[in-house]
Structures are given as C-alpha cells and as structure tokens.
Structure 1
Amino acid sequence: MLPSTLDVKTKFIQGFADKTRLRILSCLMDGEKTVSEIVERIQGNQSNVSQHLSCLKGCGIIKGRQEGKYVHYSLRNDQIKELLTMFDTVFEEVQNEVAACDKNDGCLSPKGEETIVE
C-alpha cells in the first residue's frame, strides 16, 4: 500500500523539525558545501552531520553533487530557500507564543533537545 499524500507531506515537514538539520539548512542558504565544511561551520561531528544530511536528502530538501571524492550539498531549489526564509519571517511574528506554548514539549527529549524523527 502506498502512503497517502498527507503522510508523505508530514514526512517532508518532519525533515525540518530538528535543530541540527535547521543549522545545516541555514549553513546551505549561502551555497553548496562539503560535509567537512558543514561540520566546521556548525561545530558538529561528521557522523551526526552525515546522518542528518542523509535525512534531508531523503526528504527531498537538499541534493548532493559528486565531485571527485567529495559530495557538495546544496538546497534542492530556490523554493526550499524561500520556504526557509518564510519560516524565519513567520517565526519573528509568533516566537513569543511558541516560547510560551507547552503543547509541543512532548517532541523534546528529557534533556530539552529535539529528538530525531525520521
């Protein structure tokens, strides 16, 4: 049985729902980067960043371009960049309500870190 459009859309949106993935996407807003460039820029570790890049690629949010032994990652298209910019614009308007909301705290681990939802 094929997943419904709503299920696939939910999976796509969950691709954005992680702090590390948002940091990676922010890093890619100004152009393509290799894994090591991303790791250095966001101060992450390579294994973790690679897992998140795989998730983002699987969700259709980013793409990779092989050049020799390196893969250069970038946002899938201008619409993804526009969507990320729109997230920031809308967030500026609602950040106080979001900060005060305890309804989505179940999405956080006991340490207050986002859980990986894939």
Structure 2
Amino acid sequence: MNNNVDLKVEFLHGFSHKTRIQILECIKDKEKTVSEIVNEIDGNQSNISQHLACLKGCGIIVGRQEGKYVYYGLRNQQIRELLNMFDSVLNDIEDDVATCENHIS
C-alpha cells in the first residue's frame, strides 16, 4: 500500500509545477513541437525541455518523431480528462484555494 502512495506522489509531482501545467494546457488539444510550446507559453527552451523530460518520464506525455521534429502530446484521453477534472473541481473550490493559508511543501 505504501508503494501505491509513493507512486501517486510521483505521478502528481508531474502536475506540481506552473511550467508543467502550462505545457499540459498548451498540448491538451493538439500535439506541438518544443518551439511551438516555447512560443505559446513564452518560456525558455532549455527550461521547457527539462519539464518535457519530467512529464515524459512520469508517463503523462509522449513524444512522436516526425522528420527532424518531435511532437509532444498527452499520453491518452484519461490525462485530458484528468486536466479537465482539475478545472472542474477548481471551479468549485477556487476561493478556498486562493485564500488558503495552510499550504505546506
């Protein structure tokens, strides 16, 4: 059971950084190259590449080689549904989250 909790923590870690969430939102509906992602979220290519590696390593996204480009997209429909569920739940509790003074790292 503890192993299952550890795996959940590792999986959720993929969603626990602003840049990774921006990347996921950017590719939620369409595959994109690193350059497209960098331009869309106004990021730094090296930083974005590191976060893409994290997301890919956690199994949240996949990369598909086409010619000299790699296109990144969500691993499957379940990840898309999870992102949509985050939005739905957050819609209900956003005031509480915004005013929470008990966030711990």
Q: Which runs of 5+ in 1 are unaligned?
A: 108-118
Q: Kindly indicate which of the two structures has a greater share of residues assigned to helix.
A: 2
Q: Tell me which residue corresponds to 1:14.
A: 13
Find runs of 4+ consecutive structure 1 residues off by over 2 angstroms: none
Structure 2 unaligned spans of 5+: none
Deviation at 1:9, TM superposition (A): 1.2
One-letter amino acid matched to 2:18 = K
Indicate the structure whose relative CO is greater, using CA pairs within 8 Å and at least 6 residues apart: 1
CA positional deviation for 1:63 = 0.3
After TM superposition, the score normalised by the length of structure 1 is: 0.84
Q: How far apart are 1:13 and its partner, in Å?
A: 0.7
Tell me by how many angstroms 1:102 deviates.
1.6
Task: State the Cα distance separating 1:5 from its structure 2 match.
Answer: 1.8
Indicate the percent of aligned positions where both proteins have the same amino acid.
Answer: 60
Q: Answer yes or no: is 1:5 the counterpart of 2:4.
A: yes
- For 1:6 and 1:68, the matched residues in 2 are separated by 40
Q: Aligned AA for 2:55? A: L
Q: Give the RMSD, CA atoms, in angstroms.
A: 1.2
Q: TM-score, with normalisation over the residues of structure 2?
A: 0.94
